[in-house]
Structure 1
Amino acid sequence: MDIVYQLVHGLSGLPAQESRLARFFLDNFAQIPEATMEELAAKAGVSSATLQHFARSIGCDDINDFIGQVRHQQQENNLQVPAAPMLGDAAWVDPGALKALALNAGIGSEILDRFSHSIGCENNGDILGQIRNRLNDFSQQESRVAQTILDDVSFAASATIDQLATAAGVSPATITRFARASGCDDIRDLRMKLAQASTPVAGGDIALPWREKLNRLQNALNSQFCELQPAVINQAVVRLKQAKAVHIFSASAADTPFASLLQYRLLTQGYPANICQDPALMSITASMLGAGQVLVIFAGSAPENALIAAAHQARRLGAEIIFIGRDSGSFIHSDDILLPLTEVRYGSLLVIDLLCEGIDS
Structure 2
Amino acid sequence: MTTTDIINRLRMLSTDGSKAERRLAEVILDDVEYASRAPIADLALRARVSEPTVTRLCRSLDCDGVRDFKFKLAQVLAIGGLYLFPEPLVRDERDARIVDAVSEGAARAMDRMRDIVDMNTVNTVADQLIKARQICVYGSGGVSSLGAVELQNRLFRLGLSVVSHTDGQMQRMSAAVCDKDSLVVAISASGEAKSIMESVRVARQYGARTIAITNPDSSLAREAEVTLPFVIPADTQLYKPTSGRYALLFVIDLIAMATAESIGPRVLEGLRRIRTSLSGLNMSDPGRPIGD
| TM-score computed with the length of structure 2 as normaliser | 0.49
Greater RCO (Cα-Cα under 8 Å, separation 6 or more): 2
